[in-house]
Structure 1
Amino acid sequence: MKTRIFFIGIVVLLLGCKSEVENDHLDLSKAVVIISSGVDKTMQATLFAVLTEEIAKRTGFNLHKGDATDAKTVIKMALQREIDLFESSKVPSFLLETSLKKEGFRLYHEVLEDQDVLWIVGADERGLLYGIGKLLRIAQLSRDKFTLEKGIKLVSEPEYPLRGHQFGYRNTANSWDAWTVEQFDQHFREQILFGANSFENIPFQEAGSSPHFKVHPQEMEVALSEICQKYGVDYWVWTPAPKDLTEANAHEEGFIQQEAFYARTPKLNAVFVPGGDPGENHPSVLIPYLKDLATILHKYHPEAGIWVSLQGFNEEKTSYFFEYLQKEKPDWLAGLVNGPSSPPLDFEREQLPEKYAYRFYPDITHTVRCHYPALRWDQAYALTLGREPISPQPNLYTQYFRRDVSKTDGFITYSDGSHDDVNKVLWSQLGWNSKVNTEDVVKEYCQFFFGTEVADKASEGIFALEKNWKGPILENEGIDSTLEKWKSLEKNHPELSENWRWQQLILRAYYDAYVKAKLVFESGLEQKSYKVLSEAAEMGAEAAMEKALIILKSTDSAQTGRDLRKKIEWYAEELFQSVGAQTSVEKYQARGAERGAILDFLDIPLNNRWWLEDEFGKVKKLTTEEEKIARLDFIRTYESPGEGSFYDNISSAAAKHVTSETDDAIDYLWEHDGKSRKRLSTQLFQFSPVLEYEGLNFETDYLIRVAGYGEALLRANGERLEPTKYEKGFEEFKEFPLPKELIADGNLKITFDKPDEKHLNWRKQSRVTDVWLIKQ
């Protein structure tokens, strides 16, 4: 009897809690929508479609316009300057407070006698769109449910006037070239609902340049313009100048193509001409080209602006450009763009006259050899995930944003695919409010795209994916637990299985776990092979190498990660079908191996197998058994110089003595489409690394050995050391005896002076790959 009473009490308590929760929320499932007549008629249709279509997708409810007289719940949209929707009733004071900044909005729940009114008031039509976006991101939306906390009283205004992303419809992108106009329309809408106001295309693509094009690129150029026109946001294009403007008729040939594009484009707000990457033109010829281009542009789009970057400019070119601006102050130029390889942000901001806007062009799409590298990335990820993997990095990109964007008037990011979707949304929201809580942004992302029920756990899963990339894989215990989080989500929410954002996040979780399992197994094989090589003197060099190779090749028949691999391949196919993601060159016709083709690296060795195979071939050609055994002994102890000695793979996430950060992620040298047979450590480098040691024996003789390429101007505790051996090729060595007096306190700091090699491409510049401190 007591048990029954207790059970009934619990039920009553739970029902009471449910009722209390429901009483705290406004039911909008039957709300009537009213849009002020002062809103542009075309935008009225857009606003109504955006609100009702996004609600219908998530809930099944079909809101409609109508007479609010008898409605219990009303959603009213109006511009700040209007009063006709307020009717004769008293206007809520909150809606009449200080004027909103451009694009700002207010959300306000008003309770009348027999009616709930949710106001969305915008400074302009864009403000209304952003108000709808906020509503959709914070409302409780699920099948047969559309509620919002009662009493909402929110005002929000953008911090930066320019917030956008590049969407180049071209083969280089790893998914967009497979999109339809409808997919772009939906995607632009979603980006706008998170605060974006600008989209940049890369026109002038050849019709046959991508096997994935579903729409002729010239048709898509116009369609993207029409989409921006529909939503009332800005349409930009990225159009490099002819490669060499000093050639005869170069100007005119460039203008023919540009003018034809301007003429057929219904909306165009800005034309961005990069000064470099591509392009090597001197500003003395680039400036006249831009001036003439502006004249042609204004024939068709009088309010559009010409923008330029100084990417790749040296000091002389930079000085020439800013001296021109200071002296001439041309009206045809709208602003300056800072992109990768531009002069520093602080410098350009200081030099730029106030009349010009200043746009940031950050790369938020790549992980290596890029503007914003993944920090201390494990080499196994670089070997497999490459340069354009699925890359949610909310914490890292928040740091980058807050460090750099404040020096500008906003941004249009560089992107080359759908893989960085979380990063785009994050930057749009930081552009709206740079102090916004990163966790709140990710939570709203998950709530909007995946639903209220899953939002918290999916948000945790995204941050867990970012942590998967932190530090050495073999020391990261979170990778397996991250997979378990996503496997649980995958199992419990089959209704999201066709959602491409969901698909790519789960794929990343499986891929990371696969890489770890493979790395653990193959690292073990390499150590076993070295154990065999240590017995070469007893069994003979030839026999030892043969046995070691059998061990190394046993990975081919191993079952390690096979189930994970099947999931990876399955999700790759799903992503190709849902969003055109090209995860393989051969299977899905990706533009190149480093363009997100992660399937093509599932079988790449994560140990030194390829290098060892080649080295064994060289050993077999040595004359004597003694030489062979000596070389095998060197190979097996390459990273193990003995007790009291130290070795560091310079850019490895596991390097113990390296205190410097790399210039570019792990500075992974990309060769042979990512399948270099070099020793893994020699594919990692820094140009000027710093290493620090403590507790050295000052009575011991030490030798510093360096591997890399080119020069190595080494200093020990500030003193330049003279080498006794100085080879400059890959897998060759430089050796520097260390004077005892330099480590009298037991501490050592190794640094490298950077040689003057600005005239060389970065791939040709000197670098350091391995450093040993060897006890003699």
Structure 2
Amino acid sequence: MNRKLLELFLTVLFLSCNGKRGVSLDLSQASLLISPAWEETFQNTTETIFSEEIGKRTGLKFDRADVWDTDTIIAIAISGESELYGRSVPARINTHPEYQKEGYRFVHERKNGKDVLWIIGADKRGVLYGIGKFLRTAYMQRGQLSISEDVDTSESPKYALRGHQFGYRDTANSWDAWTVDQFDQHFREQVLFGANSFENIPFQDPGSSVHFKVDPQEMEIQLSKICAKYDTDYWAWTPAPEDLTQKNASEEGLRKQEAFYARCPRLDGVFVPGGDPGDNHPSELIPYLKSLSVLLKKYHPDAGIWVSLQGFNKEKTDYFFKYLEENSPDWLTGLVNGPSSPPLQYERDRLPKKYKYRFYPDITHTVRCHYPVENWDQAFALTLGREPCNPQPFRYTELFRRDVPITDGFITYSDGSHDDINKVVWSQLGWDPNKNVGDIVTEYCHFFFGPEVAKASADGIFDLEQNWDGPISENETIEETLTLWEKLEAENPQLQDNWRWQQLVMRAYYDAYVQTRLAYEKNLEQQAYQMLADADNIGADKAMDHALTRLLQADRKPVASSLKTKVFQYAEKLFHSIGAQTGVAKYGAKSPERGAILDFIDYPLNNKWWLEDEFKKIREFKTEKEKLGRLEFIRTYASLGQGSFYDNISSADAKHVTSKTDDAIDYLWENDGLSRKRLSTQLFQFTPTLEYDELDPEADYLIRVSGYGEALLRANGQRLKPTKYEKGYEQFKEFPLPKDLIMDGKLKITFDKPDEEHLNWRKQSRVTDVWLLRQSPKTR
């Protein structure tokens, strides 16, 4: 969407939903009536949510009443309830949303001189969701609470299952530092945006994280209690023993599970992944699950057993579905589709209708994951890594609408607070897949940042998503995004302790720092290559000295230090506000992949490290001729003569690559992320597609491929035979291109996928670089 049109859209949207449309109903002096039909504990929960969330934003206090003795009242009732403390509850026919499971309505009624804002829920959850919608759209400022007089909103959810995983474990990049109160508040906020399920990961070693404030076994119980408090489902992600064929493995696993079931006040679902971790054959896993279901029903009769087929090959998958068809077990509630599961539609088609089907999408990671960021510049992948603050409302709206419809709902995979906006987007789309993403994000900003800043901050969130679209060097949005967030930062000091605000502002500074550094370091690399071009005149060793000195200027004369300083300042704030672990040594992150963005903020964005290593090798060559030859190859690696083409396969600025990195992996991870390989070697696809339309039909061409393992190359559909076939990193395969394949000047290169299902993905063949080299007459 054009930025100016987006701003106009959000302005209109903001004015329509912030309580200032038309005539406003002043609720600052309203009394609060809550239906006595619920038990006292839920009445108290409802009053607490309402009073605390409004109180912290307005300073107003609301005490529960049981008489209609004020001119303005906020009344919370059950749909179908005929009256509340003697006054009729607005009623409609029972096909309306407030009569459907989890549905609600809130509507203004003026009668007998009184203004009543009714929040009417079909059930407990419906009431909480109605309160959530009210809080997300009411105008709240110090001493002010109002909403449009003509408000009449009602809805019920499309999907029955709408949840998120919150694993209290050391691999989470913030949650292991949280207290029970922080989880309580966060679960409440998730409910207010439409979530109804939370999944923990129990059985954590109390000594596994230095950040634990609470023993993990105690937190398991507390999270269960929080879910009971808000009437949300409590799930557990509990892998089976990794090898069930080992003696007593099943019995030990069952004993451990039973102890967990016994100590949980509430438990609604147990999800056992078939893989990741675990590699059990279904012939071993199914009996274990059956025994597990007996124990689960003993303590939680309404809870269900769920399983995924993650990592299953065809034989395992066929075995599982054949078992379901022949046995139709009642102990199984449903199937879960997660990363590395068979395709969604395939599983849906084979799953008997009696079983539910849950989606387990990864909305927390950016690379080596279920949904890698599309068109992401390598500089971001190398620095921000796998778990940065990653709001992608447009992208995840598109993915939700593509993948969720054939399921019964979802509990997303998450490993921290950095994907908070993505969770809200999924929760809200779980209510209505056609909701406008602008509405969702603006309500998010309205609720967490306040009505006066909602429009601008929503605009800033969309801009952060645009920052990641395509080559950094061509992205003008990054600078504009920083300008916007700098202005918001300066004008809203009251938000400086808000962790959601902190991570968004930090991202704006981080992105701008990477952009500035990338331009600087790429320019230094080009200057270094120009110095290598003089090697014939000054000698190879001296040319390398000059080139290296120029490359090291990035360390000796760094750029944009003020932007980097701001990133570190916000990282410190986030550590104190929510325990965000943005560095391994500094903040105790579990590993470099777990949100440690500070550890990579200065990762070289040119080939400095690779060149340093190459220069060391070249200095050992015996002859000057060898040295000069290798330096010339390095200098012209990606800078070819006219009529030849080079593509770094997964680079955002690749000119001829038409395929996307949908493999869930898009760059090599080694040495804890500090790989010294050439940058292009770290980017790959398993089976890329490239297209050319500017070839000379009379010329001879050679296709050169770099990568790892096999490269089963086709040119315009015809498999080519190689004249060179090296399989290691930074080695080459070469394929002469027959002229008769390019008579029209066009070429499409594809790669067949080798039969490597037995290999871990890290060992499977991949392509990193492709050259199409026009051969000069003397080399034909």
- With normalisation by structure 1, the TM-score equals 0.96
CA distance in 1, matches of 2:507, 2:122: 41
Contact 2:524 2:550 in 1 (8 A): yes
Match of 2:90 in 1: 92
Contact 2:20 2:147 in 1 (8 A): no
Give matches, 1:557-636, under 5 Å.
Answer: 557-636=556-635
Match of 1:332 in 2: 331
Contact 1:68 1:74 in 2 (8 A): no
Give matches, 1:412-427, under 5 Å.
Answer: 412-427=411-426
Larger displacement relative to structure 2 (696-705 or 631-640) = 696-705
Provide, for residues 743-767 of structure 1, a one-character-per-residue CA deviation record: whole Å limited to 9, x for no partner. Answer: 1111111111221111111111111
Amino acid corresponding to residue 454 of structure 1 in structure 2: V
Larger displacement relative to structure 2 (550-559 or 178-187) = 550-559
Contact 1:368 1:664 in 2 (8 A): no
CA distance in 2, matches of 1:752, 1:309: 30
Secondary structure at the residue paired with 2:297? helix
Provide, for residues 261-285 of structure 1, a one-character-per-residue CA deviation record: whole Å limited to 9, x for no partner. Answer: 1111111111111111111111112
Quickly say closer, same or farther: Cα 1:664–1:512, change in 2 above 3 A.
Answer: farther
Q: CA deviation at 1:355?
A: 1.7
Match of 1:294 in 2: 293
Give matches, 1:181-330, under 5 Å.
Answer: 181-330=180-329
Secondary structure at the residue paired with 1:298? helix
CA distance in 2, matches of 1:426, 1:349: 24
Match of 1:80 in 2: 79
Match of 1:502 in 2: 501
CA distance in 2, matches of 1:733, 1:283: 41
Q: CA deviation at 1:68?
A: 4.0
Contact 1:244 1:250 in 2 (8 A): yes
Identity among equivalent positions (%) equals 65
1:41 to 2:50 alignment? no
CA distance in 1, matches of 2:649, 2:742: 22
Match of 1:431 in 2: 430
Give matches, 1:453-532, under 5 Å.
Answer: 453-532=452-531
Quickly say closer, same or farther: Cα 1:415–1:22, change in 2 above 3 A.
Answer: closer
CA distance in 2, matches of 1:144, 1:251: 60
Give matches, 1:729-744, under 5 Å.
Answer: 729-744=728-743
CA distance in 2, matches of 1:470, 1:669: 21
Amino acid corresponding to residue 409 of structure 1 in structure 2: D
Q: CA deviation at 1:70?
A: 2.6
Match of 1:352 in 2: 351
Give matches, 1:696-711, under 5 Å.
Answer: 696-711=695-710
Secondary structure at the residue paired with 1:158? coil
Match of 1:13 in 2: none
Q: CA deviation at 1:358?
A: 1.0
Match of 1:3 in 2: none
Contact 1:39 1:79 in 2 (8 A): no
Q: CA deviation at 1:119?
A: 0.5
Quickly say closer, same or farther: Cα 1:499–1:284, change in 2 above 3 A.
Answer: same
Quickly say closer, same or farther: Cα 1:515–1:21, change in 2 above 3 A.
Answer: closer
Amino acid corresponding to residue 760 of structure 1 in structure 2: L
Secondary structure at the residue paired with 1:336? strand
Amino acid corresponding to residue 273 of structure 2 in structure 1: P
CA distance in 1, matches of 2:399, 2:129: 24
Contact 2:337 2:344 in 1 (8 A): yes
Amino acid corresponding to residue 77 of structure 1 in structure 2: I
Provide, for residues 456-481 of structure 1, a one-character-per-residue CA deviation record: whole Å limited to 9, x for no partner. Answer: 00000000000000000001111011
CA distance in 1, matches of 2:87, 2:733: 87
Q: CA deviation at 1:66?
A: 2.0
CA distance in 2, matches of 1:702, 1:252: 64
Match of 1:662 in 2: 661
Larger displacement relative to structure 2 (161-170 or 637-646) = 637-646
Secondary structure at the residue paired with 2:109? strand
Amino acid corresponding to residue 408 of structure 2 in structure 1: D
Secondary structure at the residue paired with 1:769? strand
Secondary structure at the residue paired with 1:706? strand
Q: How many residues align?
A: 756
CA distance in 1, matches of 2:242, 2:643: 56
Q: CA deviation at 1:508?
A: 0.4
Q: CA deviation at 1:390?
A: 0.5
Secondary structure at the residue paired with 1:279? coil
Provide, for residues 245-303 of structure 1, a one-character-per-residue CA deviation record: whole Å limited to 9, x for no partner. Answer: 11121121112211111111111111111111111111112111111111111121111
Match of 1:16 in 2: none
Contact 2:194 2:427 in 1 (8 A): yes
CA distance in 2, matches of 1:94, 1:582: 51
CA distance in 2, matches of 1:772, 1:458: 44
Secondary structure at the residue paired with 1:474? helix
CA distance in 1, matches of 2:602, 2:616: 22
Match of 1:11 in 2: none
Amino acid corresponding to residue 102 of structure 1 in structure 2: K
Secondary structure at the residue paired with 1:479? helix
CA distance in 1, matches of 2:471, 2:30: 53
What residue ranges of structure 2 are gaps of 5+ in the alignment?
1-18, 776-780
Q: CA deviation at 1:209?
A: 0.5
Contact 2:384 2:601 in 1 (8 A): no
Larger displacement relative to structure 2 (717-726 or 440-449) = 717-726
Amino acid corresponding to residue 712 of structure 1 in structure 2: A
Provide, for residues 401-424 of structure 1, a one-character-per-residue CA deviation record: whole Å limited to 9, x for no partner. Answer: 111111110000000000000000
CA distance in 1, matches of 2:741, 2:127: 68
Secondary structure at the residue paired with 2:735? strand
CA distance in 2, matches of 1:153, 1:663: 43
Contact 1:523 1:606 in 2 (8 A): yes
Amino acid corresponding to residue 375 of structure 1 in structure 2: E
Provide, for residues 637-667 of structure 1, a one-character-per-residue CA deviation record: whole Å limited to 9, x for no partner. Answer: 1000111111100000000000111134671
What residue ranges of structure 1 are gaps of 5+ in the alignment?
1-19
Amino acid corresponding to residue 320 of structure 2 in structure 1: F
CA distance in 2, matches of 1:198, 1:613: 52
Contact 2:160 2:409 in 1 (8 A): yes
- Quote the RMSD (CA, aligned, Å): 1.4
CA distance in 2, matches of 1:685, 1:308: 32
Amino acid corresponding to residue 742 of structure 2 in structure 1: I
Match of 2:378 in 1: 379
Q: CA deviation at 1:375?
A: 0.4
Secondary structure at the residue paired with 1:634? helix
Larger displacement relative to structure 2 (718-727 or 29-38) = 718-727
Contact 2:377 2:468 in 1 (8 A): yes
Amino acid corresponding to residue 92 of structure 1 in structure 2: P
Provide, for residues 165-211 of structure 1, a one-character-per-residue CA deviation record: whole Å limited to 9, x for no partner. Answer: 00000000000000000000000000000000000000010110000
Amino acid corresponding to residue 710 of structure 2 in structure 1: E
Secondary structure at the residue paired with 1:297? helix
Amino acid corresponding to residue 547 of structure 2 in structure 1: A
Q: CA deviation at 1:47?
A: 0.6
Q: CA deviation at 1:741?
A: 1.9
Match of 1:130 in 2: 129
Contact 1:666 1:684 in 2 (8 A): no
Provide, for residues 102-123 of structure 1, a one-character-per-residue CA deviation record: whole Å limited to 9, x for no partner. Answer: 0000111001131100011111
- With normalisation by structure 2, the TM-score equals 0.95
CA distance in 2, matches of 1:683, 1:695: 28
CA distance in 1, matches of 2:576, 2:291: 44
Q: CA deviation at 1:96?
A: 6.3
Secondary structure at the residue paired with 2:485? helix
CA distance in 1, matches of 2:398, 2:651: 23
Contact 2:22 2:148 in 1 (8 A): no
Provide, for residues 117-145 of structure 1, a one-character-per-residue CA deviation record: whole Å limited to 9, x for no partner. Answer: 00111110110000000000011112221
Secondary structure at the residue paired with 1:392? coil
CA distance in 2, matches of 1:84, 1:122: 14
CA distance in 1, matches of 2:680, 2:32: 63
CA distance in 2, matches of 1:23, 1:601: 51
Contact 2:663 2:686 in 1 (8 A): no
Contact 1:243 1:281 in 2 (8 A): yes
CA distance in 2, matches of 1:96, 1:637: 73
Q: CA deviation at 1:321?
A: 1.4
